[in-house]
Chains A and B, each alone.
Chain A
Amino acid sequence: MVMERAVVKRSTKTIQLTMIQAITDGLRTMLQEDERVLVLGEDVGKNGGVFRATEGLYEQFGEDRIIDTPLSEAGIIGASIGMAVNGFKPVAEIQFLGFIYPAYEQIMTHVSRIRMRTMGKYSVPMVIRAPYGAGIRAPEVHSDSVEALFTHMPGIKVVCPSSAYDAKGLMIAAIEDPDPVLFLESMRIYRASREEVPEGKYTVEIGKGKKLLDGSDVTLIAWGAMVPVTMKAAEQAKTQGINCDVIDLRTLYPIDKDIIAESVQKTGRAVIVHEAHQTGGLGNDIVSIINDTSFLYMKSPIERVTGFDVPVPLFALEDHYLPTPQRVLKAIEKVVNF
């Protein structure tokens, strides 16, 4: 195992939390520490969020800081911009990533470029949280996984944790970041497991991936809900004597190119797994990174296991849409047997 790069400050005590509880804990930590931090969005206040990500915050910090907004994504992001340039640090929740589209204009035309347009005079130190992804039998449109729309967009960082520890550390780092961060939360793994999480404040550095498994035969790269899927495939591969090096990317922009290069230069093979559509997907940027940094080390073409180039279907077919350990394993076998 590669050592966790985060620095634990202040506290050494830990508690067992699910990923969603760790997100709440990260929000609470920063709300306590920094008066400028505000939480706003649809149903985040009294209801504690439709997934309970803001549970208890309204009671603790009051309606002036935990703000139930009108049902308006453009309004939420637009108003957050106004607050951010005027002294606050908004953490805006978009109830589901599939409903972020009305805010796309605000993000693309303002969030991402206000610093550049004012040569640094104004900035928008805000966080946009959005649950995303398929696999929980949610109604239509709730299951979109469109991180690439935002990694393509210049001027905003994108993170996507897959564990409780990383979720809290990245949340705190995102809130402290001087620039806008899109914080993607996989609904499918919100409560899938528990992990020891330090109490109090610590950060996980934005822009750093994490090695989950050391192996010499093939590099597997994933994030969010695809991390457990990929780990399962790695376990199955091991029974066939194939040892996988597994990377949880954690930050989708800017990508940790060093962790990728270091790994593929060792293994010479790579499989990239994401649930978003293939064309224009982030997997293609990772292929480019490997090409740019490690071309001569590669022993086989890189495989991508992704969602298909079709809208995420209604839930009766979502299991067919989503990458499975079986599909990842096939790709592993393919690159190993090339």
Chain B
Amino acid sequence: MLADFPILQVVDENGLLLHEQYKEKITEELVKSFYYHIVRIRTFDRKAVSLQRQGRLGTYAPFEGQEASQVGSALALDKDDWIFPTYRDHGATLTFGAGMMRTLLYWNGRVEGCVPDDGQKIFPPAVPIATQIPHAAGAAMAEKRKGTKNAAIAYFGDGATSEGDFHEGLNFASVFQAPAVFFNQNNGFAISVPVEKQMNSRTIAQKALAYNMPGVRIDGNDVFAVYFNTLEALNRGRNGGGPTLIEAVTYRYGAHTTADDPFKYRDQSKSETIRNTRDPLLRIERYMKNNGFWDENWVHKITEEISNEVDQAVKDMENYPKANVNDLFDHVFERPTWTIAKQKEEYLRLSGREA
């Protein structure tokens, strides 16, 4: 199976283009956009971890190490596509256009963080593992029925492939030939469980065979490979070719969440090795230098811009109006049932608030 599903790369660790056919498509603008978004979400991620440590944010799930997978796939989407993320995919949603302040609100336990801006098709992060996978199949089935060219992408981890919902979602998309892309980030671990103990399959991509859909295994730290392969899968779906399973092989550098201690179950020096050899940003930097796109001034400028943007988002999140008790009751149904109305009325009276 490993031979049937080799890890595809477009740009190798040294920043060298491996396939000439992409040469034309890789414009300076595209490369800079990859670089910009990876720096942006990495800056956000590090800020969030540090805010959590200072008690200014709740438990947080960092994605450092996985940025190429998230940026490359999100940039391949069209504005009108659907995105179904997990709790670790806000790098993808931020790249797709989710508000940064809202993303911070989410991690601060605020329901407002689940609400996408008007016109955005961003489902709130799935916390119960794999549950979003059938949703993407359904949203894609709906787009097909409506006769649009829109697609849906579901993000999920290696652990998620063990849940029934993964198989059920893929089967639905396959049976109904829905324009869905199932984007797996194989980051090596489901909390403490390494992928070799999660499954006896050699790859995740091979699971596509069972559903008679294309399965692609790519280097998830190669943003070029991620972008072009996701684009191809999306286009196939838009043109009636059905769903695709993509396995992006990557690595989570840090803890599962800020509540987790990776030293309990794995050798953290592997993160450092990967950081120094296969890091997503390092690879683009090498590519840019190899191709004469590297511009210190530009890098300096965007780094500063991004840092200001993140600081502003933090400020806005912290100045955001306090959580409103009414939101506990008001959105369960379009119109509250008598039970909810009564409970709300009693609670507000008891706590000295007006209904």
Contact A317 B192 (CB under 8 A): no
From A72, which residue of chain B is reached at the shortest CB distance? B162
Interface extent on B, as a size class? Answer: 35 or more
Q: Judge if A279 is at the interface, Cβ distance under 8 Å.
A: yes
Q: Judge if A194 is at the interface, Cβ distance under 8 Å.
A: no
Tell me the chain B residues, 317-355 only, with Cβ under 8 Å from chain A.
Answer: 323, 325, 327-329, 332, 337, 339-340, 343-344, 347, 350-351
Query: Which chain A positions have C-beta within 8 A of B347?
Result: 308, 320
Known contacts A102-B163, A137-B109: A310-B127 contact under CB 8 Å: no
Contact B163 A42 (CB under 8 A): no
Known contacts A71-B198, A72-B163: A139-B111 contact under CB 8 Å: no
Contact A320 B339 (CB under 8 A): no
Query: Which chain A positions have C-beta within 8 A of B111?
Result: 313-314, 316-317
Query: Which chain B positions have C-beta within 8 A of A313?
Result: 111, 327-328
Q: Judge if B30 is at the interface, Cβ distance under 8 Å.
A: no
Query: Which chain B positions have C-beta within 8 A of A330?
Result: 350
Query: Which chain A positions have C-beta within 8 A of B264?
Result: 46-48
Tell me the chain A residues, 42-91 only, with Cβ under 8 Å from chain B.
Answer: 42-43, 45-48, 50, 68, 70-75
Contact B192 A47 (CB under 8 A): yes
Tell me the chain B residues, 203-235 only, with Cβ under 8 Å from chain A.
Answer: none
Contact B323 A317 (CB under 8 A): yes
Total interface residues in chain A, CB < 8 Å: 41
The 0/1 profile, CB within 8 Å of B marked 1, for residues 282-325 of chain A is: 00000000000000000000000000111101111110110000
Cα A45 to Cα B198 in complex, Å, equals 13
Q: Judge if B193 is at the interface, Cβ distance under 8 Å.
A: yes
Contact B129 A99 (CB under 8 A): yes
Contact of B162 (CB < 8 Å), options: A47, A71, A308, A318: A71
Contact B58 A139 (CB under 8 A): yes
Q: Judge if B260 is at the interface, Cβ distance under 8 Å.
A: yes
Contact A316 B108 (CB under 8 A): yes
Cα A68 to Cα B162 in complex, Å, equals 13
Q: Judge if B122 is at the interface, Cβ distance under 8 Å.
A: no
Cα A70 to Cα B129 in complex, Å, equals 12
Number of cross-chain contacts by CB at 8 Å: 114
Query: Which chain B positions have C-beta within 8 A of A266?
Result: none
Tell me the chain B residues, 91-139 only, with Cβ under 8 Å from chain A.
Answer: 106, 108-111, 113-114, 125, 127-129
Known contacts A42-B190, A71-B162: A314-B110 contact under CB 8 Å: yes
The 0/1 profile, CB within 8 Å of A marked 1, for residues 67-94 of chain B is: 0000000000000000000010000000
Known contacts A47-B264, A74-B164: A139-B87 contact under CB 8 Å: yes
Q: Judge if A135 is at the interface, Cβ distance under 8 Å.
A: no
Query: Which chain B positions have C-beta within 8 A of A142?
Result: 127
Nearest Cβ on chain A to B315's Cβ, whole angstroms: 18
Query: Which chain A positions have C-beta within 8 A of B106?
Result: 314
Query: Which chain B positions have C-beta within 8 A of A43?
Result: 191-193
Query: Which chain B positions have C-beta within 8 A of A68?
Result: 192-193, 197
The 0/1 profile, CB within 8 Å of A marked 1, for residues 243-279 of chain B is: 0000000000000010110001100000000000000
- What are 5 residue pairs bridging A and B, where the CB atoms are less than 8 Å apart in the complex? A71-B159, A72-B162, A309-B340, A318-B109, A321-B328
Which of B's residues lie within 8 Å of A, judged by CB?
58-59, 61, 87, 106, 108-111, 113-114, 125, 127-129, 159-160, 162-165, 190-193, 197-199, 257, 259-260, 264-265, 323, 325, 327-329, 332, 337, 339-340, 343-344, 347, 350-351
User: Told that A70-B199, A102-B164, A102-B165 touch, could you supply 18 new A-B pairs with CB distance under 8 A?
Assistant: A42-B190, A43-B193, A47-B191, A68-B192, A68-B197, A71-B198, A139-B257, A140-B125, A308-B340, A308-B343, A311-B332, A313-B327, A314-B110, A316-B109, A318-B109, A320-B347, A326-B350, A330-B350
